[in-house]
Amino acid sequence: MTSTQKLLGSSIVRYILTHSSNLYTVRAVTRNPESSKARALAALGAEVVQGDFDDEDSIRQALAGVQILFHNTDFWTTMSDDAEAAQSLTVAKVTAAEPNLEHVVLSTLSDPTTLFQGKYMHNLPYNGKFKAERMIKKEYPELWAKTTRLLVALYHSNWFLPPFSPVKTDSGQLELQNPYSPSSRIPSASPDDTGVVVDAIIRGGQKYHGRTVSIWSEWISDEEKLKVWGHVLGVKAAFKQVTPIEYQQRLESIGFPPYLAQGCLELLSMLGEGVNYVTGGEIIDARTIVDPSYHFKTWEEYVKEVNWTSIL
Ligand SMILES: NC(=O)c1ccc[n+]([C@@H]2O[C@H](COP(=O)([O-])OP(=O)(O)OC[C@H]3O[C@@H](n4cnc5c(N)ncnc54)[C@H](OP(=O)(O)O)[C@@H]3O)[C@@H](O)[C@H]2O)c1
């Protein structure tokens, strides 16, 4: 498994070591096996190995002998869609040469050039993932044939990231300032639910080769989120719909370079315009492949369990 230390990856490592350690051993790739997060995964029973997507030899060593790969890259580490795509291509090149490889689960996002007929061409986090897909399909078709695409909806935890976070106005009021309507419903999810879903996908094996699975717990608007948040925490917060320029300027004022502020603007605009990359067509809803009693975490449940002091 790659990208194991934080959100999606750590949920999967933990779930598999807890529920499926009779079937699988888990090898977790990290740039720094000495970090506290890496040590915590090792303490749970993962084999933690060093590997850096930007160092092909280290990835070749880290993935040697792999049978099932979960792979995710992080756009925010490089802040470049081309660099992110190149990282995934390195992983694809290395794993395509692995003789025992049976299955790949790839965390990805939909093609921004087909969503909204290409209106948003600079949605960089989507671009990075989708460019990688396109190259893997073309250069490693056999690998692609064994791959399951995993689509995760907007994380509940995004409010801790500056492009999504409520801000304090000069008058001390907490405000969510987004470039879309407060009533736009956006598919949302908890990364914590990734583990159970990936476990089901790899248990299903070939059944999921070439398929797409999506994880979402609910469609929820910012006004609904604010209502729940305010109620649970006993705080007052408002929504302000800002213009695209105002949104971009806010990000630039806190240090985002213009290209990245534009990328975030396009990401948020697509969400506000009702992007749906989690249902329809051939997409398999994760609910249908896990135990029916499993509950996907809602925004309200997330709000109740998290410490919000850094935002308040
Ligand atoms: N936020 C959302 O709503 C949402 C929804 C769907 C998809 N996504 C996508 O999910 C991605 C982030 O995934 P996440 O949330 O699971 O990430 P995350 O929790 O922020 O973790 C990032 C991981 O990337 C690894 N990593 C970064 N650079 C690396 C490198 N050069 N070599 C090896 N590993 C590297 C890190 O490993 P080490 O530090 O241990 O080396 C870390 O485990 C983003 O690209 C985003 O677009 C986000």
CA of 173 to the centre of ligand 1 (A): 32
- What digits encode the pLDDT tens for the residues 66-81? 999 999 999 999 999 9
Report whether pLDDT(102) > 90: yes
| Atom of ligand 1 lying closest to residue 78 CA | 28
Residue 113: what pLDDT?
81
Residue 124: what pLDDT?
92
Report whether pLDDT(28) > 90: yes
Ligand 1 binding pocket (C-beta < 6 A) is 2-9, 30-32, 51-54, 72-75, 77, 109, 125, 152, 154-155, 158
CA of 246 to the centre of ligand 1 (A): 28
CA of 75 to the centre of ligand 1 (A): 7
d(CA 277, CA 296): 18
The whole-number average pLDDT for the span 165-180 is: 93
d(CA 82, CA 65): 28
- What digits encode the pLDDT tens for the residues 195-221? 999 999 999 999 999 999 999 999 999
Residue 192: what pLDDT?
95
Using CA positions, which residue lies closest to atom 43 of ligand 1? 3
**Percent of the chain residues past pLDDT 70, beyond the cut:** 100
Name the more confident of 3 and 298: 298
Residue 58: what pLDDT?
98
Q: What residues does each domain of the chain span? A: 153-190+217-277+292-312
| Protein fold of 153-190+217-277+292-312 | UDP-galactose 4-epimerase; domain 1 (3.90.25)
d(CA 278, CA 193): 15
Residue 149: what pLDDT?
98
CA of 72 to the centre of ligand 1 (A): 6
CA of 104 to the centre of ligand 1 (A): 17
CA of 3 to the centre of ligand 1 (A): 6
d(CA 199, CA 295): 15
- What digits encode the pLDDT tens for the residues 243-271? 999 999 999 999 999 999 999 999 999 99
Using CA positions, which residue lies closest to atom 8 of ligand 1? 152
Report whether pLDDT(134) > 80: yes
The whole-number average pLDDT for the span 153-182 is: 94
pLDDT band (50, 70, 90) for residue 118: confident
The whole-number average pLDDT for the span 176-204 is: 97
Residue 111: what pLDDT?
87
Residue 19: what pLDDT?
96
Looking up tokens 């399951």 gives: 148
The H-or-E segment that residue 240 falls in is strand 237-241
- What digits encode the pLDDT tens for the residues 40-58? 999 999 999 999 999 999 9
| Atom of ligand 1 lying closest to residue 38 CA | 40
From the list 41, 8, 36, 39, the residue with the least C-alpha distance to 26 is 41
Phi and psi torsions of 273, nearest 5°: -85, 5
Using CA positions, which residue lies closest to atom 24 of ligand 1? 3
| Atom of ligand 1 lying closest to residue 75 CA | 45
pLDDT band (50, 70, 90) for residue 31: very high
